[in-house]
Chains A and B, each alone.
Chain A
């Protein structure tokens, strides 16, 4: 419990985490505002997914937070601080690697679940305010899907960073794959198997209409994504336990 509180404190003290929070709130809200405005200007209501599609882009905030939570432990502090890394101090304070990792991941889950809930509330209220119809409050049933998608994506990012110990590679891969036309989406045009990639499967939890060759049910999509995350975290834990800090 104290390890968990410590990890939460570490997260709150990182400027990058606050930047990730700003990204996670502002990107979907601004985008929804622009899309809803143009829908109103064109004289049509929003489609069933307005607000939710934009929340799928906002997950980049979760990616940054998930990466930074791990990579900040491995940043060299520079000559003036003896060239040390925070992970040495963290393992001195919490010597059990399993406990440290569980505490850290729980802190990430707490932060992302809060962020996702706040961001979804702001985005869906924007939809409700600008469009009479649209998903809005009626889409409340899909909210757990959004929160779960953000949490799982952040854990995926943390798991990848545990393997690489450096933020650049996971950030590049995951941000590229949040872009407007994602690599996995293009792959889905080549092979139907691509719908089992974690992002395409996970997005089915809350986006109704996707242009994919195989339509997974929301629960199946969530399970597929959870399996990916569990596998990556297991690999990350084994590597983290086995090697020198």
Chain B
């Protein structure tokens, strides 16, 4: 019962942020333009739009820390683990439709197999949760965005062809999507990251 109300509260908070709408609409718009422009060059529908989901996850987590909102949140909901998981659930509620829509736009414009679309949506949703977990630990939006984008767009792609363990890194699925195989690896990373962020959030001062 409590967790239901916590999820409802977190969803309301996330939906009250203008940045949420700007990010989601911007991502879908950019995904559409890129799909139209680059459909003939075989650009993955996940590649660039995943940046939008990274930013969405970061905003969901760091908006609490900008004006000290976290104090109010913890007065209303002192059980930190429940609060943290409720925030992740609220992020899922927003990112699942956003990811589905982004991928559908890409597939409709560029053409592509439907099973891939499911895997791509799952990957985008998991990436946003992973970003939220990282941002919870960092608590500041600029370092979180710089670190995550630097990893996903510079370090990750450069490691991909050079090291053997690259297939087990969280960004492997953005490159070549094997329907649920790679999503499982990302899911593993997400569970580890959320476990870590929940522990950190539980133990340290707000």
B141's partner among A23, A31, A168 (CB-CB below 8 A) is: A168
Q: A31-B158, A168-B141 are in contact. Are A186 and B146 (CB under 8 A)?
A: no
Give complex CA distance A156, B146 in Å.
16
Number of chain B interface residues as a range: 20 to 34
Contact across chains for A167 and B145 when beta carbons are under 8 A apart: yes
**8 Å CB interface, B36-73 against A:** 37-38, 41, 43, 48, 51, 55, 58-59, 65-68, 71
Give complex CA distance A75, B142 in Å.
10
Interface centre among B41, B66, B140, B145 (most CB of A within 10 A): B145
Q: A79-B68, A183-B48 are in contact. Are A71 and B142 (CB under 8 A)?
A: yes
Q: Tell me what chain A mostly uses at the interface: helix, strand, loop, or mixed.
A: helix
A76's partner among B34, B66, B146 (CB-CB below 8 A) is: B66
Interface segment, A112-120, A143-151, A174-182, A223-231? A174-182
**8 Å CB interface, A182-235 against B:** 183, 186-187, 189-190
Interface segment, B83-91, B96-104, B148-156, B186-194? B148-156
Let me know if B143 is at the binding interface, CB within 8 A: yes
Give complex CA distance A180, B48 in Å.
12
**8 Å CB interface, B116-170 against A:** 140-143, 145-146, 149-150, 153-155, 157-158, 162
B157's partner among A27, A76, A78, A180 (CB-CB below 8 A) is: A180
Chain A nearest CB, measured from B139 CB (Å): 10
Give complex CA distance A175, B149 in Å.
7
Contact across chains for B68 and A172 when beta carbons are under 8 A apart: no
Interface centre among B140, B154, B155 (most CB of A within 10 A): B154
Which residues of B have CB within 8 Å of A83?
67-68
Interface segment, A42-50, A60-68, A94-102? A60-68
Which residues of A have CB within 8 Å of B34?
183
Contact across chains for A186 and B37 when beta carbons are under 8 A apart: yes
Chain B nearest CB, measured from A211 CB (Å): 13
Chain B nearest CB, measured from A51 CB (Å): 15
Q: A171-B142, A186-B37 are in contact. Are A176 and B51 (CB under 8 A)?
A: yes
Which residues of B have CB within 8 Å of A179?
153-154, 157
Let me know if A19 is at the binding interface, CB within 8 A: yes
Contact across chains for B142 and A34 when beta carbons are under 8 A apart: no
Contact across chains for B149 and A172 when beta carbons are under 8 A apart: yes
B158's partner among A23, A180, A187 (CB-CB below 8 A) is: A180
Give complex CA distance A202, B74 in Å.
49
B153's partner among A71, A76, A79, A176 (CB-CB below 8 A) is: A176
Chain A nearest CB, measured from B64 CB (Å): 11
Residue of A nearest to B147 (CB): A19
Residue of B nearest to A168 (CB): B145
Contact across chains for B66 and A176 when beta carbons are under 8 A apart: no
Which residues of B have CB within 8 Å of A23?
150
Chain A nearest CB, measured from B31 CB (Å): 12
Let me know if A80 is at the binding interface, CB within 8 A: yes
Chain A nearest CB, measured from B124 CB (Å): 15
Contact across chains for A189 and B41 when beta carbons are under 8 A apart: yes
A172's partner among B37, B41, B51 (CB-CB below 8 A) is: B51
Give complex CA distance A167, B68 in Å.
19
Which residues of B have CB within 8 Å of A176?
48, 51, 149, 153
Which residues of A have CB within 8 Å of B48?
176, 183
Contact across chains for A67 and B142 when beta carbons are under 8 A apart: yes
Interface centre among A16, A168, A172 (most CB of B within 10 A): A168
Chain A nearest CB, measured from B81 CB (Å): 24
Which residues of B have CB within 8 Å of A189?
41
7 shortest interchain CB distances as A-B pairs: A79-B68, A179-B153, A167-B142, A175-B149, A180-B157, A171-B145, A64-B146
15 interchain pairs, CB-CB under 8 A: A16-B142, A27-B154, A68-B142, A78-B68, A168-B59, A168-B141, A168-B142, A172-B149, A175-B153, A176-B48, A178-B154, A179-B153, A186-B37, A186-B43, A187-B37
